[in-house]
């Protein structure tokens, strides 16, 4: 289950720029993957030491370094020192609880995004913070876990398909952001299918499990909202702020991503309204079921009121009651009770109460 609200796990009172990992605690080594390319050449390698990255900082080719794992603070610190990143940037990279944002440091840009994926087996949304640093000829991306939505970009770089190999680091950054935003549509479509199933269940036969699924949907839409809404400002900043690191040709593509983000926001708001309405539908359905049960019980109780009266009258212990000595008195009373109940049932049916 996705935790929409988290307790702050970073120790309080530390000075600005203190490098403390806030996120999933892991053991093992951090994986660094490097892809370096231009129109004519390409190389891909697994980096064993941070020092191997430094020669690619100022090359004319475009370099993409992807870091899987943030638990080893020394690796992040070494990268920051080699590339001369601000200590606050390294602090933000290690803190995986940030909202999406964009910061311009002149010779590089720092962006934080949320990568969302849908676990079909568990039927829940998973969130992963992606930190991206955009330099003149390099892009460095950070994430806690292996596995992302960037495989199509890697394939295009390897096979020299599309524009990626002929463009610079700004276009690579655009491609990463576009892949993240495009995958939002996948998550939204799967959430839409879940909403349709729950709506059908609400109309036919709502159960207690239905209420739990509705609450889970509300949490997931809240998570989506926290991930998507700030992204509009981030994309708008890349598109309009006029950074020297973002070419005008790439800014045009950023406008397209911005339009996609607006589409996601509109769909998300629709889902939030539908999910909120589901709670009202659930309450109404349960109330209607309760009313149906109460109506049946009321009709049964109403039918037995005159029958109880008849039984009560003939249950009195008086010596002189005309019907007590009659041979057919017992059968006559039973017949009277049956006729009375039948008349009441016919009356209720004509009134369309049953």
CB 196 within 8 A of CB 271: no
Cα–Cα nearest to 254, from 221, 227, 231: 231
Q: Which domain holds residue 306?
A: 294-350
> Of residues 202 and 42, which shows the higher confidence score?
42
What's the pLDDT at 17? 62
Q: Above 80 in pLDDT, residue 6?
A: no
Rounded to an integer, the average pLDDT of 259-265 is: 91
Rounded to an integer, the average pLDDT of 169-184 is: 93
> Of residues 66 and 218, which shows the higher confidence score?
66
Whether residue 229 is found in the same domain as residue 199: yes
Give the burial class of 135: count Cβ atoms within 10 A of its Cβ; 0-12 exposed, 13-18 middle, 19 or more buried.
Answer: buried
Residue 343 lies in a domain: yes
- Which of 62-66, 95-99, 139-143 shows the lowest per-residue confidence on average (mean pLDDT)? 95-99
Rounded to an integer, the average pLDDT of 183-189 is: 89
Q: Of the candidates 265, 285, 305, which is a domain's last residue?
A: 285
How confident is residue 15, by pLDDT bands cut at 50, 70 and 90? low
Q: Could you tell me the CATH number of the domain that includes residue 66? A: 3.30.460.20
Q: Report the domain count for the chain.
A: 2
Residue 279 lies in a domain: yes
What's the pLDDT at 1? 43
Residue 18 lies in a domain: no
Q: Above 80 in pLDDT, residue 263?
A: yes
d(CA 97, CA 248): 32
Whether residue 98 is found in the same domain as residue 196: yes
Residue 5 lies in a domain: no
Name the token pair of 154: 């890697």
What is the chain's mean pLDDT, rounded? Answer: 85
How confident is residue 2, by pLDDT bands cut at 50, 70 and 90? very low
Whether residue 227 is found in the same domain as residue 330: no
Rounded to an integer, the average pLDDT of 115-142 is: 86
Q: Could you tell me the CATH number of the domain that includes residue 337? A: 1.20.58.340
CB count within 10 Å of CB 43 equals 11
Rounded to an integer, the average pLDDT of 255-277 is: 89
Cα–Cα nearest to 276, from 224, 233, 190, 214: 214
What's the pLDDT at 330? 81
Q: Of the candidates 285, 320, 336, which is a domain's last residue?
A: 285
d(CA 246, CA 322): 107
Per DSSP, the residues of 220-283 read HHHHHHHHHHHHHHHHHHHHHS--TTS-HHHHHHHHHHHHHHHHHHHHHHHHHHHHHHHHHHHH
d(CA 157, CA 37): 8
How confident is residue 3, by pLDDT bands cut at 50, 70 and 90? very low
What's the pLDDT at 4? 46
Whether residue 184 is found in the same domain as residue 118: yes
Whether residue 89 is found in the same domain as residue 169: yes
Whether residue 280 is found in the same domain as residue 300: no
d(CA 140, CA 32): 10
What's the pLDDT at 64? 95
Q: Of the candidates 264, 285, 306, which is a domain's last residue?
A: 285
Q: Above 70 in pLDDT, residue 205?
A: yes
3-class SS shares of the chain: helix, strand, coil, % to 5: 55, 15, 30
Residue 20 lies in a domain: no
CB 270 within 8 A of CB 194: no
Whether residue 276 is found in the same domain as residue 299: no
Measured between alpha carbons, how far is residue 351 from residues 116, 294, 298, 348 in Å?
Answer: 56, 17, 15, 5
Residue 26 lies in a domain: no
What's the pLDDT at 299? 86
Cα–Cα nearest to 31, from 110, 116, 148: 148
Helix axes 248-313, 208-240, angle to 10 degrees: 160
Spell out the residues 6+ positions from residue 265 whose beta carbon is closer than 8 angstroms to its own. 228, 229, 232
- For residue range 309-350, what is the model confidence (pLDDT) as tens digits? 888 888 887 777 777 777 788 888 888 889 988 888 888 888
What's the pLDDT at 126? 82
Rounded to an integer, the average pLDDT of 29-52 is: 90
Whether residue 196 is found in the same domain as residue 251: yes
- For residue range 55-88, what is the model confidence (pLDDT) as tens digits? 888 888 999 999 998 888 888 899 998 899 999 9
Whether residue 265 is found in the same domain as residue 163: yes
What's the pLDDT at 9? 54
Whether residue 140 is found in the same domain as residue 276: yes
Q: Above 50 in pLDDT, residue 24?
A: yes
């Amino acid at each position: 289950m996705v935790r929409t609200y988290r307790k702050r796990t970073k120790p309080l009172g530390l000075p600005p720029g203190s490098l403390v990992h806030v996120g999933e605690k892991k053991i093992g080594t951090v994986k660094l993957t490097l892809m370096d390319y231009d129109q004519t050449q390409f190389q891909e390698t697994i980096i064993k030491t941070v020092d191997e990255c430094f020669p690619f900082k100022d090359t004319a080719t475009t370099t993409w370094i992807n870091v899987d794992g943030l638990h080893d603070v020394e690796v992040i610190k070494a990268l920051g020192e080699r590339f001369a990143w601000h200590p606050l940037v390294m602090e933000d990279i290690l803190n995986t609880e940030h909202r999406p944002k964009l910061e311009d440091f002149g010779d590089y840009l720092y962006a934080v995004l949320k990568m969302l994926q849908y676990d079909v087996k568990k039927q829940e949304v998973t969130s992963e913070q992606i930190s991206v640093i955009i330099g003149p000829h390099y892009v460095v991306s950070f994430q806690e876990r292996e596995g992302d939505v960037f495989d199509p970009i890697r394939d295009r770089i390897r096979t020299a398909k599309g524009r990626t190999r002929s463009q610079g680091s700004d276009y690579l950054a655009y491609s990463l952001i576009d892949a993240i935003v495009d995958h939002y549509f996948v998550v939204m479509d799967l959430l839409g299918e879940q909403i349709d199933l729950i709506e059908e269940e609400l109309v036919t036969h709502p159960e207690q499990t239905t209420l739990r699924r509705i609450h889970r949907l509300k949490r997931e839409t809240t998570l989506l909202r926290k991930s998507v809404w700030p992204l509009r400002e981030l994309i708008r900043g890349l598109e309009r702020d006029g950074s020297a690191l973002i070419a005008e040709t790439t800014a045009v593509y950023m406008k397209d991503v911005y339009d996609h983000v607006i589409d996601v926001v509109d769909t998300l708001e629709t889902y939030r309204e539908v999910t909120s309405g589901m709670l009202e539908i659930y309450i109404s359905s349960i109330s209607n079921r309760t009313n149906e049960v109460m109506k049946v019980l009321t009709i049964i109780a109403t039918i037995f009121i005159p029958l109880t009266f008849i039984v009560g009258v003939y249950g009195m212990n008086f010596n002189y009651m005309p019907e007590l000595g009659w041979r057919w008195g017992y059968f006559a009373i039973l017949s009277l009770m049956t006729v009375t109940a039948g008349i009441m049932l016919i009356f209720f049916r004509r009134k369309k109460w049953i």
